[in-house]
Amino acid sequence: MGIKTKKPLHFRRFIFRTQLIIILSLAAVLGGLGLAVNLKEEAEMRDMNLKNVAEAVSQSRPVIDAARGGREDLTAALDTLKESLGEIDVISVVGERGVRLYHSNHDLIGTPFDGTAPDFEKNGWSYTVDENGPSGVQRRAYAAIRGDGDEPVGFVMSIMLLSSIRARTGRIIALFLGATALAVLGEFFISYRIAGRIRERLLGYEPDAFSAMYRIRENTLESLDEGVIAVDRDGGVQFMNAAASRLLNGQPSPENVEKLFGSPLPEEKESRVPVRIVEGADILLDRVPVKEDGRIRGAVGILHDRTEFTRMAEDLAGTRFLVDSMRANNHDFTNKLHVILGLLQMGNVEDAIRYIEKITLVQRESIGQITRQLEMPGVAALLIGKTARASEVNVKLILQKDSTLRRDDVRVPEDVLITLIGNLVDNALDAMDGTSGEKNGNELYVGIHSAPASLLITVDDTGPGMEPEVLARIFEKGFSTKGEGRGTGLFEVKRLVDAWGGTLAAESQPESGTSFTITFPGVKTGENNV
């Protein structure tokens, strides 16, 4: 069974059909009314013209004298008048005795008038009427020739033949039809141009295809979990999907749009950064300028819920550090397996058993303590991995027993905490790498203490410490005692702590070790921006 599809409607064809129906309907109605009015006016003007000619001739003194029995010859004068009146076909003058004193057909001059006599008493001294004559149906105007006593002594007829009337009417109809045809052609041309212009606006697509594409785009954008908001060059919102409306708590204000996109609009795509839009709501934003012909016409913003994005980042960070932890533990356990293998080859089975029990207990206690005290898996995985790495450089990493990290207490993202703790631990391990630790032992103490809306992080090592002049410069970008290409870890720590409203303190004594303290008092959602 075949699938029936709707035949696409071509836009120009649709415009042509619509315009044709409209113009033909208008032409039929307006043209018919106009033609009827024009023909009526034409008939009235024709009757008036016939009466005026008949009255003018009847009031002429030579005509009056001739009608009363005079011998005046009216032929030359009336022939001249007839020639000047192109619309009048016949002029006839009938005298008091019923004899034609003049007729446009000279053969009828002097012959008796054998037609219907005019009734001036009933119709007045001049009137028009349709009658039959020698040339067929005619439109006649009668005018009485009155003597001195106002009595009729004859009459004058001015006549238009039906053939002439029909010819004139045909010309009027042809004129109207010609005007209607020109109007139709004009409408076709206009509709063609309009259809072409609209199709250009639709980028060459037919309206059905364009509307289908629009619906697909609308449904796609509305189904996204990320917010999408588009603005023009002046910052006016042109589009905003439901997710963006939810993230921005409804229609954004001009101030929020300026915070999102900046003023003027950015020239290039910017990196994702958290931006506070309204009280209590942080988002992550990708800003992309929209260019046309090399000029910025607007911008599109892709908005991410910072809470959801942070959760994903924490999950990814935790997975990454779990992998790092497994890699470090694998290296550490490989070394321990070599020790066990050596003891067994030497025949010291009891020593090998005791060694296995010892490292198993230490490993279980170390990992169990970290996972119990720290609810954030990424931070826990980081310290497990760093513990294994510390053992490789002869350093014992110890998580303080009273440490606790509850997820609900902390509003700083887990990836930020991982960066802070990881850089401080790496800095301490680098400081103690290569030192014997015979005096105090190589030990690294990490403390993490959280309370509702506050956090304290401490990292203390028993390394060589620093001189005061070195301590004063450790947070400078590029400064390092390890040589070029280093010196970014502590600078990044300082930048992140400042950005999230915390404080960072460092203390150090030569030959005694170094201590770093980070505090985040009163950190709440929406109060800090990075």
Residue 102 lies in a domain: yes
Which pLDDT value is given to residue 155? Answer: 92
Query: What single-letter amino acid sits at 5?
Result: T
What does each C-alpha distance from 182 to 24, 27, 175 come to in angstroms?
A: 12, 11, 11
**Residue 231 belongs to a domain:** yes
Closest of 243, 343, 238 to residue 300, by C-alpha? 238
| 403 φ/ψ angles, rounded to the nearest 5 degrees | -70, 145
Q: What sign does the dihedral 467-468-469-472 (CA atoms) show?
A: positive
DSSP string, 339-407: HHHHHHHTT-HHHHHHHHHHHHHHHHHHHHHHHHHB--HHHHHHHHHHHHHHHHTT-EEEE-TT-BB-G
Predicted confidence (pLDDT) at residue 482 exceeds the cutoff of 90 = no
Question: Rg of the chain over CA atoms, in angstroms?
Answer: 55
d(Cα 402, Cα 154) in Å, to the nearest integer?
142
The amino acid present at 335, given as its one-letter code, is N
Which residue is associated with the tokens 């109007």?
183
Amino acid (one-letter) located at 266: P
End residue of a domain, out of 278, 305, 332: 305
Domain C-terminal end among 169, 187, 207: 169
Residues 33 and 164 reside in one and the same domain: yes
Question: Is 271 exposed, middle or buried, given 0-12, 13-18 or 19+ CB atoms closer than 10 A?
Answer: exposed
- pLDDT score recorded for residue 529: 34
Find the CATH number of the domain harbouring 280.
3.30.450.20
Structure confidence at residue 460 as a pLDDT band (50, 70, 90): very high
What is the helix (H) or strand (E) element at residue 219, kind and residue range?
helix 207-223
Residue 137's domain comprises 13-169
Shared domain check, 155 and 34: yes
Do 165 and 29 share a structural domain? yes
91: in domain:
yes
- Least confident interval from 65-69, 183-187, 434-438: 434-438
Instruction: Collect contacts of 192-197 with beta carbons under 8 A, ≥24 apart.
Output: 192/12, 192/15, 192/16, 194/15, 195/11, 195/12, 195/15, 195/16, 196/12
Q: Is 488 within a domain?
A: no
165 & 298 share domain: no
Which of 313, 333, 525 minimizes the C-alpha distance to 417? Answer: 313
> Which pLDDT score, from 0 to 100, does residue 526 have?
38
Residue of higher predicted confidence among 273 and 291:
291
Alpha-carbon gap, residue 98 to 111, rounded angstroms: 9
Residue 233 reports pLDDT greater than 50: yes
Q: Tell me, what's the pLDDT at 4?
A: 42
pTM of the model: 0.40
Residue-wise pLDDT for 8-30, tens only, equals: 456 666 766 777 777 778 777 87
For the cut 80, the answer to whether the pLDDT of residue 468 exceeds it is: yes
**pLDDT tens, 170-223?**
777 788 778 777 877 777 777 777 777 776 776 666 666 767 777 887 888 888
Contacts of 93 (CB under 8 A, 6+ apart): 57, 63, 66, 67, 74, 78, 100, 101, 102, 103, 145, 154, 155, 156, 157
The verdict on 161 and 233 lying in the same domain is no
Tell me, yes or no, whether 21 and 126 share the same domain: yes
pLDDT class for 1, splitting at 50, 70, 90? very low
Number of domains in the chain: 2
Share of the chain above pLDDT 70, in %: 75
Residue 23 lies in a domain: yes
**Same domain? 126 vs 268:** no
**Among 263, 290, 305, where does a domain finish?**
305
State whether 126 and 243 are in the same domain.
Answer: no
For the chain, the first-to-last Cα distance in angstroms comes to 61
Token readout for 512 is: 């005694």
157 & 32 share domain: yes
Q: What is the rounded distance in angstroms from the CA atom of residue 239 to the CA atom of residue 258?
A: 16
Q: Is residue 242 part of a domain?
A: yes
- Decide: 519 and 446 in contact? Cβ < 8 Å: no
Residues 148 and 19 in one domain: yes
Separation of alpha carbons 353 and 361, rounded Å: 12
Q: How far apart are CA 291 and CA 265, in angstroms?
A: 11
Residue 179 lies in a domain: no
Judge if 243 and 161 occupy the same domain. no
* pLDDT tens by residue, 127-163: 988 887 766 778 888 998 887 767 888 899 888 887 7
Q: Rounded to 5 degrees, what angle do the CA atoms 256, 259, 262 make?
A: 130
Is the same domain home to 94 and 240?
no
Q: Is residue 494 part of a domain?
A: no
Q: If we measure between CA atoms, which residue out of 275, 228, 277 comes closest to residue 252?
A: 277
Q: Which residues pair with 448 in a beta bridge?
A: 457
